[in-house]
Structure 1
Amino acid sequence: MTAHPRRIAAVLATAATLLTTHASASDWSYQAEIYLQGTNIKGDTTIGLPFNNRTTEVDLDSGDIFSNLDMGGMFRFEALNNSTNWGVMVDYAFMDLGPDASGPLGEDIDASIRQGVLEALAFKRFQLEGSSIDYFGGIRWWDNDIDLKFNGPANTKISVEEDWVDAVVGARWLKPLNERWTLMAKGDVGGFGLSSNFTSNLAVGAHYKMTDSLSLDLQYKAVYVDYETGSQGESGYFAYDTWTHGPIIGLIYNF
């Protein structure tokens, strides 16, 4: 992220450390994936001004996002110890948008939205009859920068930079259908009032094995968050209640 380059460097360094630490161990297997999501963001954000709150509807479909995308990146890294069935997952998705939008009251809005979501999880795999299930726990880190300019009589400008970390727990189910296809379903819940009031991630899809080292990832993913900080009606109040969802296509490298 241009606003937080050190944070991106830390994420990349973490993934690299996980890889290099165990790369020589024969009982470890890895996955590295670059993916693209047809992202849609729907919900609303409320930003506190002195003696007032300003709520703005967020309703961006994938067409809006791709046409206004200044920068973006989505990747996932996973490591599994095949002896202990313990593993780790790191997933990071970032978008920097600079669209012109129409506000819910019809006013013109110049908006710049930067959203980054990082998941860092540890999991334990259990083998079932004909399938497997991973129980996991970890964190989801949200990093949002929102700049709004309302082009009306007041010509109001609003900016907020807010990031927070949620604890999450969940499970992932994997079901091989044949030598090529594997079904996948994943879900988690979190927040518990520690940072967000509530957050959840749901995904369903399939992996298609093209070669021993390359697989195609096809899924639909939806992430919900209900976050609030500060006091309503006062400067510094911020609320973010949105669904980020859409289809995913990715290329997985297995090694």
Structure 2
Amino acid sequence: MRYLSQWLSCGVLVSLGLLGGGPNGALAADLGPPPAPVIEAPAMPGWTFRFTPYGWLTALDGTQTVRGRSVKVDASFVDIVEESDTLVALMGDFEARYGRFALLADVVWSKIGVESGNIRSRTLAPGVTGTLATSLGLDIEMAIAEVGAAYEVARSGALAFDILAGARYWYQEADLSFDVAAAVDIGDLEVAGARAFARSGSVDWLDPMIGARVRYTVAPGHELLLRGDIGGFGVGSDFSWQAIGAYGFEFGTYQGITFSGVIGYRALYVDYVQGEGRSRYEFDMLQHGPILGISARF
């Protein structure tokens, strides 16, 4: 019995050693030291994109001069819709953002007509004699393209402040039609029936611009945007300014694309002049009105 007890004790000790109970156990040697914890690097922010097709219900208030003949324009969007034979527009805004930095683009193309109830003759330019009595109509085809960049310089909670810079390109073709019942030198105008037409041909220019905007997150998915800029500085136009206020609200997500409604108001003024006398072209105009759009962010 004594030998049997000693044999059992040795067997237990050997078993404990094989199972790794001791410091030199075979299983402990196989397992090795515990693995070091894995620390994942924070994810870098990526690009996000936002495209907003919109409608700008534009009113016009200012002076249009074509071939030295000037008219005063004062037409609301309703006036233009009711009295115009032509009203076509294509508008869209695009923004690509990476962290604090953003690239901006905006395009407006429109073709509108204003009838005699909302325009009236003004003093003719130097070198243009006589009067054309009642002005009958104004047709404008216009494209405005903006490109620029913005940088977030300050943020406090839900409020962010950006500075921006870029350029605004203008393209226009304007036709004035007049009643030719009064005596006037119309040698440089096109005459069709009882109307004389002053046609500008294509006119374009490029304005540098600088500005700022404020973005405020009212609630998750709801953002208020205020933007202002000035431009021209005699490089293209004499001067221009723009003010935009808009409110965006998310209403759904589909296949990773977040859709939002956009409502707001936009005002854009420019004072551009080229030429003198019979070749004078001037667009001294404020365009303003509500904006309505749908934004897609991805």
Query: Normalised by the shorter chain, which TM-score bucket?
Result: 0.7 to 0.9
**Alpha-carbon shift at residue 108 of structure 1 (Å):** 4.7
**Alpha-carbon shift at residue 65 of structure 1 (Å):** 3.0
**Aligned partners of 2:66 and 2:176 also within 8 Å:** no
Could you say what the CA RMSD is over the residues aligned between the two structures, in angstroms? 1.9
**Aligned partners of 2:73 and 2:120 also within 8 Å:** no
1:216 maps to 261
- Deviation string 1:147-206 (CA, Å, 9 cap, x unpaired) is 111123153210112111100000111010111321110000111111111000101121
1:71 maps to 88
What SS does structure 2 have at the residue aligned with 1:209? strand
Give the AA of the match of 1:159: R
1:91 maps to 106
What aligned pairs does 1:183-198 form with structure 2 within 5 A after superposition?
183-198=224-239
CA distance in 2, matches of 1:108, 1:229: 22
1:229 maps to 274
Q: Does 1:204 align with 2:219?
A: no
CA distance in 1, matches of 2:75, 2:218: 36
Q: 2:289 aligns with which of 239, 246, 250?
A: 246
Q: Which range moves more in the overlay, 62-71 or 172-181?
A: 62-71
What SS does structure 2 have at the residue aligned with 1:64? helix
Q: Which has the higher strand share?
A: 1
> Gaps spanning 5+ residues in structure 1: where?
1-24
**Alpha-carbon shift at residue 66 of structure 1 (Å):** 3.1
CA distance in 2, matches of 1:37, 1:247: 6
Q: 1:157 aligns with which of 181, 197, 213?
A: 197
What SS does structure 2 have at the residue aligned with 1:65? helix
1:62 maps to 77
**Aligned partners of 1:33 and 1:76 also within 8 Å:** yes
**Alpha-carbon shift at residue 109 of structure 1 (Å):** 1.2
- Deviation string 1:88-138 (CA, Å, 9 cap, x unpaired) is 111111111244334415725133211211111111123411211221111
Structure with larger RCO (C-alpha < 8 A, sep 6+): 1
**Aligned partners of 1:227 and 1:241 also within 8 Å:** yes
Q: 1:100 aligns with which of 94, 115, 118?
A: 115
CA distance in 2, matches of 1:31, 1:65: 31
TM norm structure 2: 0.70
Structure number with bigger Rg: 2
CA distance in 2, matches of 1:184, 1:77: 15
CA distance in 2, matches of 1:73, 1:66: 16
CA distance in 2, matches of 1:87, 1:182: 17
CA distance in 2, matches of 1:38, 1:158: 27
The number of equivalent residue pairs is 223
**Aligned partners of 1:148 and 1:158 also within 8 Å:** yes
CA distance in 2, matches of 1:91, 1:242: 19
1:34 maps to 53
**Alpha-carbon shift at residue 142 of structure 1 (Å):** 1.2
What SS does structure 1 have at the residue aligned with 2:212? strand
> Gaps spanning 5+ residues in structure 2: where?
1-43, 122-132, 183-194
Q: 1:147 aligns with which of 160, 175, 179?
A: 175
Q: 1:175 aligns with which of 213, 216, 229?
A: 216
What SS does structure 2 have at the residue aligned with 1:104? strand
Q: What is the percentage of aligned positions where both structures have the same residue?
A: 26
TM norm structure 1: 0.81
**Aligned partners of 1:110 and 1:151 also within 8 Å:** no
